[in-house]
Structure 1
């Protein structure tokens, strides 16, 4: 991965989990992140999502063939994470390996991690937003659902959504919410940040915060479709995903990736079985 590139890992929770799998994930998280406190609630699916998401950077470093004893996880006061690889007793004068910044997020059946590398100052400016393409509660008319979330949008954003067919209105709404989440996470703001302070005027390729133009940001937009087994029922789920990264350029850009071929170089998909198959090796 070059110093200006981005990699995204997406983990599909495509089936129910067992208590043994929960226990293994919980113990791994405690071992690999001893400074963190994880709730032990085996019957709470949300805590399982958190545990599995937390294991994504561990899996990534295993994929890079770096033992757990040779990397250290750091965190800024705002909660942004980066990893440094430790070279014990290295007096060769070789340059230090680049830091690896990452941002974790999850929603329902999809867990994600956005990754980049460079200096610590650079790599923490990355965020990932995931919004499931659905109305809540189920059966709510799209216009009613849109109105319920209008407080998170600006007048310009609402104007870019309304007047379209229901499926397009819902898709644009979910993309905007994912964009805002990705940016907020990239800058390390708390959950209660007011979404309406941000304006993503996609048709005019502009991004504003508190009325001022945001420069230097890249927003990569893509869709993820999953087949998910819940008991005896197989469901199809769709998510709008956005990766935000500060590049420091003279403008902010939107990149929409519509086909699997466009994604295969920087988005990697795995599922529960694939992660659990290597779980016993992750602490090594």
Structure 2
């Protein structure tokens, strides 16, 4: 296994809401994931959820195969009790961490060698019930964070800070792999850079119960009208002293790359079908509404 792959970081994104799969593409995608995932994806009520889940699984298989040099057909993925994916049939890849998230229009993947990481994405949406929404969510934030959220003059800017902080909290919890059991109100993020953009920001810091978590680093950027956060545990990386070329290793481990937006050709490049074509998977998918709003529109037309 070439060391250069292990030390590289990967940041991928895919706009699944803009993707209208053909019968051929959807059938091929189904052939390239494990049977239990096929069953799970077929149960989604809306196309957007099926598409985001499908792309997430395919990106994981792609990154594991390409960056660990594992033949595509030999990649076997499992899930922890909390739902975090892992490589199930290899005992020597604990040094390679990967995580996916999907919300709004995008599915994203972050992967990196010699660390533990988590990724989250949130669409910067507007709301008409800001006051009641904030009242419901208040206890999930510290007093310091809440002062930051309330500091702008407009609800739009307040919501941008809210979603950004929530995205950071989710990225940390996902890195831990503990699911919803962690009390995110214990986390306090200090936003040194108040406004992020498409460039990667890395100066946000974390305290838990008032204690600085210096071993954690956070990468943030905007992806269109979505904020993305990657939490990386720096102390879990392989010691630089054990690496052959310290200079190169330091550059690779400290680099924070922007998310590369893939298209479906990128996703299915070099895939290998694990099963025979099954058109019933397309027939199950094709009639579904894209999302709840489209379903309501169809129901209104029927009535």
| TM-score normalised over the length of structure 1 | 0.69
Instruction: Give the aligned partner of residue 253 of structure 1.
Output: none
Instruction: Give the aligned partner of residue 114 of structure 1.
Output: 110
Instruction: Give the aligned partner of residue 258 of structure 1.
Output: none
CA separation of 1:5/1:171 partners in 2, compared to 1, >3 Å: closer, same or farther? farther
Offset at 1:133? 0.4
Instruction: Give the aligned partner of residue 53 of structure 1.
Output: 56
Kindly provide the CA deviation profile for residues 61-113 of structure 1, in whole angstroms up to 9, marking residues without a partner as x: 45446422454546666554444997xxxxxxxxx788422111111321111
CA separation of 1:49/1:74 partners in 2, compared to 1, >3 Å: closer, same or farther? closer
1:17 aligns with 2:21: yes
Offset at 1:162? 1.1
Kindly provide the CA deviation profile for residues 117-149 of structure 1, in whole angstroms up to 9, marking residues without a partner as x: 13xxxx4x210011110034xxx1655544443
The answer on whether the counterparts of 2:216 and 2:231 sit within 8 Å (CA) in structure 1 is yes
Counterparts of 1:280 and 1:116, CA distance in 2: 21
Instruction: Give the aligned partner of residue 135 of structure 1.
Output: 126
Instruction: Give 2:11's match in structure 1, choosing from 8, 12, 26.
Output: 8
Counterparts of 1:111 and 1:194, CA distance in 2: 25
Higher strand share: 1
Counterparts of 1:106 and 1:38, CA distance in 2: 16
1:208 aligns with 2:207: yes
Which structure 2 residues correspond to residues 68-83 of structure 1 after superposition, within 5 A? 68-73=72-77, 79-83=83-87
Counterparts of 2:205 and 2:258, CA distance in 1: 25
Instruction: Give the aligned partner of residue 221 of structure 1.
Output: 220
Instruction: Give the aligned partner of residue 197 of structure 1.
Output: 186
| 2:214 aligned counterpart, secondary structure | coil
Counterparts of 1:35 and 1:206, CA distance in 2: 36
Two-structure CA RMSD over aligned residues (Å): 3.6
Counterparts of 2:222 and 2:11, CA distance in 1: 13
Counterparts of 1:38 and 1:279, CA distance in 2: 24
| TM-score normalised over the length of structure 2 | 0.65
Offset at 1:269? 1.2
Counterparts of 1:165 and 1:271, CA distance in 2: 38
CA separation of 1:20/1:165 partners in 2, compared to 1, >3 Å: closer, same or farther? farther
Instruction: Give 2:263's match in structure 1, choosing from 258, 271, 277.
Output: 271
Counterparts of 2:25 and 2:43, CA distance in 1: 13
Instruction: Give the aligned partner of residue 102 of structure 1.
Output: 98
Instruction: Give 1:182's match in structure 2, choosing from 168, 171, 188.
Output: 171
Residue segments in structure 2 that go unaligned for 5+ positions in a row: 193-202, 237-254, 276-303
CA separation of 1:240/1:266 partners in 2, compared to 1, >3 Å: closer, same or farther? closer
CA separation of 1:83/1:102 partners in 2, compared to 1, >3 Å: closer, same or farther? same
CA separation of 1:101/1:75 partners in 2, compared to 1, >3 Å: closer, same or farther? farther
Residue segments in structure 1 that go unaligned for 5+ positions in a row: 87-95, 226-237, 250-262
Higher helix share: 2
Counterparts of 1:265 and 1:194, CA distance in 2: 30
Kindly provide the CA deviation profile for residues 161-211 of structure 1, in whole angstroms up to 9, marking residues without a partner as x: 213133432221111011000000000111353321211122495422234
1:163 aligns with 2:151: yes
Counterparts of 1:2 and 1:169, CA distance in 2: 40
